[in-house]
Amino acid sequence: MSEVKIIIPMASLQLAERVKKFPFLTLRAIAKGMDTATEKTVLNIKEKRLSGPTTESSLTPRSNLMRESASRLYAEIQGNRVTTHIIDAAPYAWVHEEGKVIERVTKPGVVRLRTDRAGNLVRQENHPQLARFAKKTGKLAREVSHPGGKTYKIVIPARAPFGHGIADNETTYTACIGAEVEAAWEGKEL
């Protein structure tokens, strides 16, 4: 019996090897695309959502802490899942993202209210039902104690600068991930 030798071209062998690695290469391409898009998103959030006047979805910077500490983590591949995160080290960032109601109770104490020479309370110009506070050194003043214990709420609305910023950049994610996956399929990258 004669022996038959089949020679498989090198290009076919390389293609077969690539097909074996294809799921991992695709996940790496998705991660690379997500990293690129997330970097662009963080810059967009800093520029459009954490700068300028306060609106329903953006904040006026006071200390720049939120803007300076906004950053991203690199995409992680876990099994067949790719995740990435945008983070902010400012301790109050989550309050602006999700909103919060803070309940406070007034403390008992003494306030100094301004009086005229006859001893009558001096009222505020635009709000005649309100008295004016006196300085500690003011001679024309009346000290009034108040019991405290009154509950009031401070409502901080959810502005979601990060959520809105990510939504603004959905097309960026689609384009960046698509370009990286196409490049991997064509063999240009990875």
How does DSSP assign 30-61, residue by residue?
Answer: HHHHHHHHHHHHHHHIIIIISSSS--SS----
Helix or strand (DSSP H, E) at 74? strand 70-78
At 149, list the tokens.
Answer: 């214990």
- Closest to 181 measured CA to CA, from 12, 36, 13, 14: 36
86: left (phi over 0), alpha (psi -120 to 50) or beta: beta
The pLDDT score that the predictor gives to residue 188 is: 56
Residue 110 burial (C-beta neighbours within 10 Å; 0-12, 13-18, 19+): exposed
pLDDT values of the chain reduced to their tens digit, one per residue, 190 residues = 446 555 667 776 676 676 666 778 888 988 999 999 999 999 999 988 888 777 776 777 778 888 888 999 999 988 888 889 999 988 888 998 899 999 999 999 998 999 999 999 999 999 999 999 999 888 899 998 988 888 999 999 988 889 888 889 988 988 998 898 888 877 654 4
- pLDDT at residue 34 in the model: 92
pLDDT score at 79: 84
Distance, in Å, from the CA atom of 65 to the CA atom of 101, rounded to the nearest integer, reads 22
Q: Contact, 108 vs 149, CB < 8 A?
A: yes
pLDDT of residue 3: 60
Which pLDDT value is given to residue 120?
Answer: 92
What is the rounded CA–CA span in Å between residue 120 and residue 95?
A: 44
Q: Which amino acid is at 35?
A: D
What is the enclosing helix (H) or strand (E) of 101? strand 100-105
At 190 the pLDDT is: 43
pLDDT at 11: 74
Q: What is the pLDDT of residue 50?
A: 85
